[in-house]
Amino acid sequence: MKAKKVLALALTAAISAASLAGCAGSTTGGSTSATGSGAGDAKATVNIFQFKVEAKDAFQKAVNQYVSEHPNVTINLETVGGGDDYAAALKTKMESDPPTIFNVGGPQDVSDWSSKLQDLSDQPWVQHALKDTLDDVTVSGKIYGMPFDLEGYGFVINRQIFEDAGVSFDSMLTFDGMKKGFDTLKAKIDSGAMKDKYPNLEAVMEYPAKEQWVVGDHDENPILAQDFSSATEAFNAKELPFKAADAYKTMVDFQASYTTNAKTTGTLNSVDYSTCLEGGLAIERVAAIEQGNWVSPSVEATDASVLAKLDMLPYPVPGYSDGKYCTGVPMYWAVNKDANDADKAAAEDFLNWMYQSDEGKQIIINDAKFVPAFDNYDGLEPSDPLGKRLLEASKAGNTMPGWVYNGVPKATAWSEKVVGADVQKYLSGDMTWDALVQDAKDQWKTMRAS
Amino acid sequence: MQKSKARFWLFLTPALLVFSIIVLIPMLMGFGYAFTDWNGISGSVKFVGMQNFITIFQDKIFLHSFLFTTLFTVCAVALVNLLGFLLALLVTQKFPGATAMRGIFFMPNLIGGLLLGFIWQFIFTSIFTAIGKATGMTFLVGWLSTTNTGFLGLLILTVWQLSGYMMIIYIAQLQQIQNSVKEAAMIDGANSWEILMHITLPLMMPAFTIGLFMTISNTFKMFDQNLALTAGGPYRSTEMLALNIYNSAFGANEFGTAQAKAIIFLIVVAAIGVTQLILTKRREVEM
């Protein structure tokens, strides 16, 4: 009898624990609202549905500040993270409870959502947007999106480790230099020379091949950038030239060869993003990963002292380009055309305020830690080393378009589910590189046609 | 008579209404969309006839997913029920801690599929690798990076999660079997193996009907565990049907094709389920 009571208690505890855990697990996004009180202009309600989880506290701060100055406006901020997850969630959201402000990625999104997009061409921020940043959301002269920020990627390295191995940052700006530097460090790791100072260090690189957005989207982008100068150009291409495909292979092989799984590359297919970042670069288990400036907050959260040692190398395309970072705008703000006029006006005003007012700029730089995509942020500089490097490269023109893959057929269906998956097959030895190239071209054609 | 008929409809109508709104009507709408090229967003919907069905049967990934799911279901159903039954036999024996063990075996079932998937992912990729590297057992390294280990991983997770639930069902049935029948057999000289084979198992058939039905439909329709553990990786080779349908609807924006896939999926699940019900029902014996 007593045993039964104990069991009943244990089960009850387990059920409540499970249901609690369920709640925590199912809350992919938080929904918070802020309301200003008092009389003012016409009442307006703005519902924001956005995807950048990392910046949701910063956006909430901006919302709170804005409504305290504009008491007639109510703003609800809702965040759902991730690429695919956001796209799927937006589809259902638009049917059930259409947001006033939402996010679009590039030409594919703009075309899919064209019936919902408000023309933003007359907005005051347009004249301050950096060159080329609006191309992918411009259709026949009309601008449908406001850039979130400027992001960029290349090879994020632990500069300190390389310098301790006798390799300087400046010597690695080209593919040959990078190879030489990586080889030097690899030799020192293998011989045990780095052991004293970096006890965790076990390889030069980690390569999270499980993530199709890494082996697909990111690694194919510099290759696509040799064919197309923008996502829009890729979006309009019926066929894929893929002329730098050999460089793609070189870079995949290059990255795999500096990992602990260099001999069993198939195993890389189970290495995920957090293993390479929080369990790799941030604990000095590896000295380099192919990533971008968005890793800063995660590294800082794991070990702030490591963040100070980081720097970013350009993404080389051997035989085609050297010394260029992939930069661009990953996501845009869009306003729902079907909202009523008062709400639309408030939405437009809020977006403009967040990126163009002095208070807004402070939040964008210091809280969201964005690299701004506007030219009027004088005196405000990103605080982390990766953002700084990116801004410098962007000013010097050492960049190539970083989000060309937003213009591939059916977005991630081609770049991740076809090319990303094929790279995984290649790594596990189930597909030759030639077959991969052929498949990528064939699928591009079929998916573009359908 | 009149009164009871009114009462019949009174009680049935609310349930019928809810069922129609959230199951029947969307399903019928889905049938309609299966013959269109709708992308899930735009207002323009074009009728394309059987085109979606033709596309599906030329889609190698979908066919692979179908085979993978079938193979998985066969293995999982066999293992889950076998283990569930053995556990039920075990915990109905009289020994200290038997009741506590029931609770423990049942517990995995209380954790949501997504959470389970992530927990097992950590076990397979991190703990297995650590053990493998420390002991030199190389087969423990690189789990979930190949189709086979992905399959095994899914199988282990599912068996671990579902067999406790099946155990509860089988315990209930085991306790229904009257001891007098077994005692009579014992007096007639039957040993415990013969009692199990000729008395217990036939009388367990009603429970097997339910157990098999539940495991077949649960494993065939599995989604959360698949998404959390492998997400179809590597290279979509462990993508089961439900995930495949989801990916084409929400990933590739091919809502029409996804609906067509879903119809085929529905027909197959229904056919297998009904066949199994008929077959096992026939073998049920009354006491």
Please name the residues in contact with B119: beta carbons below 8 A apart, sequence gap of 6 or more: B111
Return residues 182-211 of B near A (CB < 8 Å). none
Preferred mutation among A16, A270, A274, A424 to probe B, highest tally of B CBs within 10 A: A270
* Under 8 Å between Cβ of A106 and A230: no
- On the question of a cis peptide bond just before residue A99, with omega within 30 degrees of 0, the verdict is no
Q: At A242, give phi and psi (nearest 5°).
A: 55, 45
Which residues of chain A are within 8 Å of residue B103 when distances are taken between CB atoms? Answer: 7, 10-11
A324 close to A225: Cβ distance less than 8 angstroms: no
Q: Which residue has the tokens 């990992």?
A: A259
Residue B247 · residue B62 · CB < 8 Å: no
**Measured between alpha carbons, how far is A354 from A102 in angstroms, rounded to an integer?**
15
B110 touches chain A (CB under 8 A): yes
Nearest residue, CB atoms, B142 vs list A22, A264, A412 = A264
Is B64 near chain A, with CB under 8 Å?
no
**Residue whose C-alpha is closest to residue A234's, from A77, A70, A406:** A406
Mean pLDDT of chain A: 86
**What is the distance between the alpha carbons of residues B127 and B153, in angstroms, rounded to a whole number?**
13
pLDDT for the residue A82: 60
The one-character DSSP state at A336 is: B
Per-residue confidence (pLDDT) for residue B159, from 0 to 100: 92
pLDDT grade, residue A180 (50/70/90)?
very high
- Diameter over CA atoms, chain A: 78
| pLDDT, tens digit, 9 for 90 and up, residues A301-339 | 889 899 999 999 999 999 999 999 999 898 899 999 888
Tell me the per-residue pLDDT of A128-139, one tens digit each, with 9 for 90 and over.
888 788 888 888
pLDDT of A31 over the 70 cut: no
A47 to chain B, closest Cα gap in Å: 20
d(CA A134, CA B226): 39
CB-based contact A77:A49 (threshold 8 Å): no
Which helix (H) or strand (E) covers residue A288, if one does? strand A286-292
The pTM is what? 0.80
Q: Which residues of A363-396 are buried (b: 16+ CB within 10 A; e: fewer)?
A: bbbeebbbbbbbeebeeeebebbbbbbbbebbee
Which of the 8 DSSP states describes residue A118?
Answer: P
Q: What is the pLDDT of residue A130?
A: 85
- For residue B286, the model assigns a pLDDT of 66
Q: State whether A266 and B125 contact (CB < 8 Å).
A: no
Would you call B253 and A272 a contact, using CB atoms and an 8 Å cutoff? no
User: Do the Cβ atoms of B164 and B146 come closer than 8 Å?
Assistant: no
| Contact (CB, 8 A) for A84 and A212 | no
ipTM of the complex: 0.75
Instruction: Quote the DSSP letter at residue A216.
Output: I
Given pLDDT bands bounded at 50, 70 and 90, which one contains residue A164?
very high
Provide the shortest C-alpha distance from residue B68 to chain A (in Å). 17
Convert the pLDDT of each residue in A6-19 to its tens digit: 445 444 444 444 44
Q: Is A272 on the interface with B (CB under 8 A)?
A: yes
Closest CA to B283 of B226, B213, B201, B215: B201
Q: How confident is the model at residue A163 (pLDDT cuts 50, 70, 90)?
A: very high
- Kindly state the tokens that stand for B257: 């094709």
Length of chain B: 287
The residue type at A342: A
Question: A270 touching B, CB under 8 A?
Answer: yes
| Contact call for B146 and A417, based on CB within 8 A | no
CB contact under 8 A, A269 and B102: no
Q: What is the pLDDT of residue A32?
A: 52
Q: Which residue of B has its CA nearest to A115?
A: B42
* Shortest CA distance from A270: residue in chain B: B145
Q: What is the C-alpha separation between A390 and A372, in angstroms, rounded?
A: 11
Listed in sequence order, the DSSP H helices in chain B are 2-19, 25-33, 51-58, 60-92, 98-106, 113-122, 128-135, 147-176, 179-187, 192-195, 201-220, 224-229, 241-246, 255-282
Count of Cβ atoms closer than 10 Å to residue A233 Cβ: 17
Please give the residue that has the higher pLDDT: either B280 or A170. Answer: A170
Looking at the partner chain, which of A270, A421, A422 has a beta carbon nearest the beta carbon of B143?
Answer: A270
* pLDDT surpassing 80 at residue A24: no
In the prediction, which pLDDT does B233 show?
A: 76
User: Is the Cβ pair A84, B102 closer than 8 Å?
Assistant: no
Using the predicted structure, report yes or no on whether residue A190 has a pLDDT greater than 50.
yes
pLDDT digits (tens, 9 = 90+) for B144-175: 888 888 999 999 999 999 999 999 999 998 88
- The number of residues making up chain A comes to 450
Contacts for B143 with CB less than 8 Å, ≥ 6 apart: A270, B124, B125, B128, B129, B149, B152, B153
Q: What is the dihedral of CA B17, B18, B22, B23, to 10 degrees?
A: -70
DSSP A25-36: HH--S-EEEEE-
Among A20-24, A89-93, A383-387, the least confident range: A20-24
Return per-residue pLDDT of chain B as tens, 287 residues: 566 788 899 999 999 999 999 999 988 988 888 898 888 777 778 888 888 899 888 888 899 999 999 999 999 999 999 999 999 988 888 888 888 888 888 888 888 888 888 899 889 888 988 898 888 888 888 888 888 889 999 999 999 999 999 999 999 988 888 888 888 888 888 888 888 888 888 888 888 888 998 899 889 989 999 988 888 878 888 999 999 999 888 878 888 899 999 999 999 988 988 898 888 888 777 65
Q: Answer yes or no: are the C-beta atoms of B228 and B158 closer than 8 Å.
A: no
All residues of chain A having their beta carbon less than 8 Å from the beta carbon of residue B125 are: 270-272, 275
pLDDT at position A34, please?
52
At residue A158, does pLDDT exceed 60?
A: yes
Residue-level pLDDT at A300? 86
pLDDT at A367: 85
Three-state SS across A73-105?
EEEEEEECCCHHHHHHHHHHHHHHCCCCEEEEC
CA distance B128 to chain A (A): 12
**Which H or E run includes A12?**
helix A2-26
Question: By the CB < 8 Å criterion, does B102 face chain A?
Answer: yes
